A and B are shown apart, each in its own frame.
Chain A
Amino acid sequence: MDHLTILENKSIFIIREAYAKFRNIAVLWSVGKDSTTLLWLCRKAFYGKIPFPVIHIDTSYKFPEMYKFRDEYAKKWDLDLIIGKNESEIEAGMGPTKGAKLDCCNELKTNALKQTINRYGFKALLLGIRRDEHGIRAKERVFSPRDENFKWNYEDQPAELWDQYKSTAEEDNHFRVHPILHMTELDIWKYIKRENMPLSELYFSRNAKRFRSIGCVPCCSPIESQASSVDEIIYELEHTNTAERAGRAQDKEDAYTMQKLRSLGYM
């Protein structure tokens, strides 16, 4: 089996396992490339029709292109779409310029999701996070228990050796399930290419800029890139010397600095 098929099989196994164990589950869809890939895998796992709801947490600050894409494919794919909104905070004017950005995320994303979970009583949520996104993700599990306050006790979680997943939860807990945890950014793009998946136009270069990840308008900035097709993005990820890309050059210098400071006990 080729690499992408192995990854796909693993994801589909996890999705079916989660559905079989919990039944009352939902998949989170931000309309970004990772969660759209997850949605695609869910459709494949159940032969086209996803048997559980798809939650989109709407902060009201998403790009217009994202709303358009969401509505178009919710219809095409016959999704049972739940739009989660923290209405009272949106009405009260919460936004990135009002308070601090973290407050905005906390109210419009985290609390909106909490409200939605409470309303529907979901036992597990499928999320499209990937292990290579961020250092803290290295500690993530495929089946990751959360308490009612969403707290993740990363020091006390099941081992998950040899793909044995623990999927029994105590009362009041819900599980976060991460079917594409094992994929990298490049795997995702290669899979998108193989499957000829539709994707928001924001990812492709316009005026020499494209978005590498998408979310709310005020908090996303595009990177310099000429890549205007999936093939070009794959080529860019495989071949571009990261130091040549402004945003990522800074990341590289910061990573070097952090490693140096740590070696002298400053971190």
Chain B
Amino acid sequence: MSTPKTLVIGIDGAPYTLLSEYMERGYLPNFKRILGSGFNLAQMDASIPDVSSTSWTSFMTGVNPGEHGIYGFMELKYGTYKMSFPNFMDVQAPSIWDITGGKSEKGSTLFDRYRGKVDKTLRSIVLNIPQTFPAMPLNGILTAGFVCPDLKKGTYPESAYDYLKSMGYIPDVDANRAATDPEGFFREAFLALEKRAEAYEHFLNNESWELFIGVITETDRLHHFFFDAALDGSHRYHETFVSFYRKMDEVVGRLFDRFMEITSGAGLFMTMSDHGFTVIEKEVYLNTWLKENGYLNLNPSREFFEQIDSGSKAFAMDPSRIYINVEGRYPLGSVSDNDKRQVIEGLKKGLENITYNGRPVIKAVYGKDALYKGRATDKAPDLVCIAHDGFDLKGNLKKQDVFGTSHFRGMHTRHDAHCIMPAAAAPSERLHIENLADIILAHLIGG
């Protein structure tokens, strides 16, 4: 019988196309070596919207946002325009490690398939997956990824917190420095990666486990601010960018070798990302567009989404979610249930026709019924837009113009996430991030 051990290395925002290109150029010798030993690199679709909180939750629960209920980093509290920030407690579906442990209070379609096969002896080590704060007890160890406001509350058990604290683990780099002090930002990013590698190897070697998931966040941070340096040899930070990938390649190679040693080559090894990245050409401020087109009135004497004023028909939240300001649901809701469909149709048409210098900006606008299925659809956005590469759709409320630029250089892409797994385990159809949990569970307890 093969060992059920599984190692997943998450590389936040690492695009399929960039990994392929860098392998071609010889920057990633370990990736190349792994692919040469029976592994397959595939392009993968992320969840919609392609934001880390949503996509990672889809990864760890194996279900669509309509079931897990995470549509972004922020929501409005029901019946108000006040912002709230959903955390792990708001995830409506069980994670892979909940399923192996038979934690059944949250059901899901994936859980139903494995209900009879739970094995509570399986131990999980879950490091730095976004949207897992606060840490919930599990058979194993967990330290939460972005956003983790308190490492102690974000880590289970306390001995793991003590270890992380003592070795100088960095939960998240200070992204604000990327604009003001790039050198300092790079130094911290390299250090954070080093510390993660050290902590992951420590747990890999000194703990018993069957499922091990470790995520690297720094790639995403690097991409947000410097993705234009990825392929541009003349960019001031091109060398730095490449050397970060080289370092990441080294870390992945070390963890891979150790895993192969432990499992004698029989485990399931995987690397994956939650979305891809591309260079930003223009930021597109959807709320400004909504304002200009008569859908949104703001009262600037209030703050954030409480600025939404009477008569507003719709508003946008990051990254590309549009909500209809429905009567009864929102304090100043002005669209009746009867009119909702018409407003949605008008919006869809309008959004699809946005152009920049004659080029279309938005590739597709999806209604919520087309995207989401499950018991958490009540919180789902009414529309979600997918932009053409280069147009970063934003939910800012204070922009004067629809188009603008900022210090951000990279934007997420839905279609260019990556996944490396054994060729034998890889499905023949195009991969979606929601498929991975099933593949992992099949290996862990399915057989």
**Chain A positions near chain B (C-beta within 8 angstroms):** 99-103, 134-136, 151-152, 154-155, 243, 252-254, 256-258, 260-261, 263-267
Most chain B Cβ neighbours within 10 Å, of A100, A136, A152, A256: A100
Tell me if B149 and A256 are in contact (CB < 8 A). Answer: yes
- A259 CB to closest chain B CB (Å) equals 8
Which secondary structure characterizes the binding site on chain B? loop
The segment out of B21-29, B38-46, B299-307 that lies at the interface is: B299-307
- Residue of B79, B149, B172, B301 near A253 (CB, 8 A) is B149
- Residue of A103, A154, A258, A267 near B301 (CB, 8 A) is A154
Given contacts A134-B303, A266-B319, 11 further A-B contacts (CB under 8 A): A100-B332, A100-B333, A102-B332, A135-B303, A136-B302, A154-B300, A154-B301, A256-B147, A257-B85, A263-B176, A264-B224
Give Cα A261–Cα B303 distance, bound, in whole angstroms.
16
Q: A265-B224, A265-B408 are in contact. Are A101 and B79 (CB under 8 A)?
A: yes
> With a CB–CB cut-off of 8 A, which chain A residues contact B318?
266-267
Tell me if A260 and B172 are in contact (CB < 8 A). Answer: yes
Tell me if A260 and B147 are in contact (CB < 8 A). Answer: yes
Tell me if A257 and B319 are in contact (CB < 8 A). Answer: no
- Residue of B74, B175, B224, B301 near A151 (CB, 8 A) is B301
Q: Which residue of B lies closest to A99 (CB)?
A: B331
- B276 CB to closest chain A CB (Å) equals 16
Q: Which residue of A lies closest to B280 (CB)?
A: A265
> With a CB–CB cut-off of 8 A, which chain B residues contact A102?
80-81, 331-332
B interface residues, tally (CB under 8 Å): 35
Give Cα A135–Cα B304 distance, bound, in whole angstroms.
11
Of residues 284 through 329 on chain B, the ones whose CB sits less than 8 Å from some CB of chain A are: 299-303, 318-319
Of residues 139 through 195 on chain B, the ones whose CB sits less than 8 Å from some CB of chain A are: 146-147, 149-150, 172, 174-176
Tell me if A266 and B73 are in contact (CB < 8 A). Answer: yes
- Give me the 10 closest cross-chain CB pairs, A-B, nearest first: A102-B331, A100-B331, A256-B149, A263-B175, A253-B149, A152-B301, A263-B176, A257-B85, A257-B147, A266-B318
Give Cα A263–Cα B176 distance, bound, in whole angstroms.
5
B406 at interface (Cβ–Cβ under 8 A)?
yes
- A65 CB to closest chain B CB (Å) equals 27
Give Cα A6–Cα B406 distance, bound, in whole angstroms.
43
Tell me if B300 and A257 are in contact (CB < 8 A). Answer: no
Q: Chain B 317-349, CB within 8 Å of chain A: the 1/0 string?
A: 011000000000011110000000000000000
Give Cα A100–Cα B146 distance, bound, in whole angstroms.
33
Q: A256-B149, A257-B85 are in contact. Are A155 and B300 (CB under 8 A)?
A: yes
Q: Which residue of A lies closest to B411 (CB)?
A: A265
Q: Chain B 73-84, CB within 8 Å of chain A: the 1/0 string?
A: 110000111011
- B184 CB to closest chain A CB (Å) equals 14
Interchain residue pairs with CB less than 8 A apart (6) = A103-B331, A257-B147, A260-B172, A264-B221, A265-B406, A266-B73
Give Cα A263–Cα B407 distance, bound, in whole angstroms.
11
Give Cα A136–Cα B299 distance, bound, in whole angstroms.
12
Give Cα A215–Cα B427 distance, bound, in whole angstroms.
60
> With a CB–CB cut-off of 8 A, which chain B residues contact A103?
331-332
B394 at interface (Cβ–Cβ under 8 A)?
yes
Q: Which residue of A lies closest to B303 (CB)?
A: A136
Give Cα A4–Cα B172 distance, bound, in whole angstroms.
42
Q: Which residue of B lies closest to A104 (CB)?
A: B331
Tell me if A100 and B79 are in contact (CB < 8 A). Answer: yes
Give Cα A151–Cα B396 distance, bound, in whole angstroms.
22
Q: A100-B330, A260-B172 are in contact. Are A265 and B394 (CB under 8 A)?
A: yes
> With a CB–CB cut-off of 8 A, which chain B residues contact A266?
51, 73-74, 318-319, 395
- A184 CB to closest chain B CB (Å) equals 20
> With a CB–CB cut-off of 8 A, which chain B residues contact A154?
300-301
- Residue of A136, A252, A261 near B73 (CB, 8 A) is A261
Q: A152-B301, A155-B300, A266-B318 are in contact. Are A257 and B149 (CB under 8 A)?
A: yes
- A125 CB to closest chain B CB (Å) equals 16
> With a CB–CB cut-off of 8 A, which chain A residues contact B81?
102
Give Cα A152–Cα B300 distance, bound, in whole angstroms.
8
Give Cα A87–Cα B330 distance, bound, in whole angstroms.
25
Give Cα A260–Cα B301 distance, bound, in whole angstroms.
24
Q: Which residue of A lies closest to B408 (CB)?
A: A265
- A71 CB to closest chain B CB (Å) equals 32
Q: Which residue of B lies closest to A252 (CB)?
A: B149
